[in-house]
């Protein structure tokens, strides 16, 4: 039985997941699909951490949006609760989030892109 309130859109975008007050991401992954109320994120085994998030954990998800000539780089900053964690097909993991709050923010000159020491780069407009 499908209990989703909003339709899902399959979209692959880089995202950065962290605890709300953390300066560095818990993990960097890729969205698989998203809706107004939820996001499914996956990440590969080579980016695995020792402690996976658990259902009920409050996290932030910063999703990199494609650049637009009218308004530049943006990201979607979400405050979300982990709904489910499962094993991915490649030995990685998949995390389903229930979105509580969502804001569109400027992308701070693409700090995430290719940075070895990843910092929070999604700031208020």
Q: pLDDT band at 109, cuts 50/70/90?
A: low
pLDDT in tens, 47-102: 655 578 899 999 999 999 988 878 778 899 999 999 999 987 777 899 999 999 99
> Domain 9-108 maps to which CATH number in 2.60.40.1510, 2.40.10.220, 1.10.1740.10, 3.40.640.10?
2.40.10.220
Please count the CA atoms within 13 angstroms of the CA of 105 that sit on its side-chain side: 20
pLDDT in tens, 10-29: 999 999 898 887 767 778 89
- The answer to whether the Cα torsion of 68, 73, 78, 82 is positive or negative is positive
Residues with Cβ < 8 Å from 75, sequence gap 6 or more? 62, 63, 64, 65, 104, 105, 106, 107, 121, 122
Which of 51, 42, 63 minimizes the C-alpha distance to 107?
Answer: 63
Q: Taking a C-beta distance cutoff of 8 angstroms, is the pair 50, 27 a contact?
A: no
């Amino acid at each position: 039985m499908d209990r989703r309130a909003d339709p899902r859109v399959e979209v692959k975008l880089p995202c950065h997941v962290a605890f709300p007050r953390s300066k560095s991401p818990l993990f960097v992954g890729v969205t698989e699909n998203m809706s107004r109320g939820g996001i499914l994120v996956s990440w590969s085994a080579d980016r695995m951490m020792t402690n996976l998030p658990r259902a009920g954990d409050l996290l932030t998800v910063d999703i990199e949006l494609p650049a637009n000539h009218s308004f530049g780089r943006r990201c979607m900053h979400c405050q979300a609760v982990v709904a489910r964690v499962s094993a991915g097909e490649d030995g990685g993991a998949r995390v389903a989030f229930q979105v509580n709050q969502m804001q569109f923010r400027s992308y701070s000159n693409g700090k995430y892109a290719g940075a070895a020491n990843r910092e929070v780069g999604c700031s208020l407009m």
